[in-house]
Structure 1
Amino acid sequence: MAAILVCNTSGILPEIQSTVRKPVAANMRKALVMQYTIGLAIYYGISVAGYWAYGASVSEYLPEELSGPTWAKVLINSTAFLQSIMSQHMFVAPIHEALDTKFQRLNEGMFSKYNLICRFFVRSIFFGLNILVTALFPFMGDFVNLFGSFTLFPLTFVFPSMIFLKIKGNAARTEQKLWHMAIIVFSSLMSIITTAAAVRLIISNTKMYHFFADT
């Protein structure tokens, strides 16, 4: 569940893009509706199709199961690679901002020669380190579960309901209070349970695999 939650946070991208033009609130709402209708249909459509075609033993990386011409495999894997780069840039944008502030010349334009070269090499090194760490741990997906369980569950479900109750206060209807309290309690329990499960899975896999193992 935590991994699914991490995947679905890609809805942040169209939401951010929608804030560029007015009316901001209406555009953000449209972007979120699109993500959680069309986006979910694509995500889960592929998942269901994979299980239907290959059974429960399907690989975590679906392109491994595909057969066909070489050019199609190259295209699919290239698309997956580009998607991973885009996802990383979206999630680590605050880190990029900090690195830019640290290493770039702030008195020059963003697209000055020095800043362009500096940004390219700094982000390339950062991206390379991410690849190294991912290759180092053959069960990196377990850390995705851990990340989603103890961070995204509270951020996605708990905090919004807490903010609603804080802002509305006594003005909120009783059924609204009960609904948001139920979300807070249920999501908090799910966060604790999935975090414990993710930690247990990581401990189990550390006994099974070694660094840079080819799984």
Structure 2
Amino acid sequence: MTSPDTLVDRLDWAGIGAQLDAEGCCLLPGLLGAEAARRLARRMPAAADGEGASRRGADPGNAEVFYFDAALPAPLDAWRTAFYGHLAVIANRWNDTLGMDDRYPATLGDFLRRNRKAGQARGQSYLSRLGVEDHVPLHQRNAGEQVFPLQLVALLSEPGTDFQGGEFVMTEQRPRMQSRPMVLPLGLGDAALIATAQRPFKGSKGHYRVNLKHAIGRVRQGERIGLELSFHDAA
């Protein structure tokens, strides 16, 4: 079986970077695969019993949310480490484009040490479970001094079979313009890289920041299980 780091290294990173620059998001069809997605989804009952997750709660919209500790279970820890090395290159290019001096270290371990020094040690990666009428409102995971500008989301159940509705939605707000909605057509085992909160946008007078949020639409039938993987921790 191909290891997560090998699989991530084989992705078309030039194309991914170009897509993130243009849209602030990039679909990765079949990244997890159906079998791995189902295995992760089966962690939800264990998390509900306090195994493998440190906190549980309900976000506004009534979605059940199970936060993992900073030490993620396999294979999520390996995914997070493998993706960070490539995404740090994109994140540093974004900072350079916006004229920001901050640079992200090359490895996730070094970045997380910066998190600890800033008082950020609470894991933000989580599994979510939405039943009928549940949704996740527009939000950003950008609290704290150390914020990584990109994150990964994935769908662990099958649209049309396990649930109806529950679309993954993003909005982008550009100055003096109405919000631009985007729907990411995730299927079982699909993932997407998305901007955490902001990204550079090239306007007529140069680059500036645009603001992004993401949400999950109302589930009309069945049960939707998803994953949100963050690269920075919370205070």
Relative to its length, the structure with more strand (as a share) is 2
The normalised TM-score by structure 1 is 0.30
The normalised TM-score by structure 2 is 0.28
Q: Computing the radius of gyration over CA atoms, which structure comes out larger, 1 or 2?
A: 1
Q: Which has the higher contact order (CA 8 A, sep 6+)?
A: 2
Relative to its length, the structure with more helix (as a share) is 1
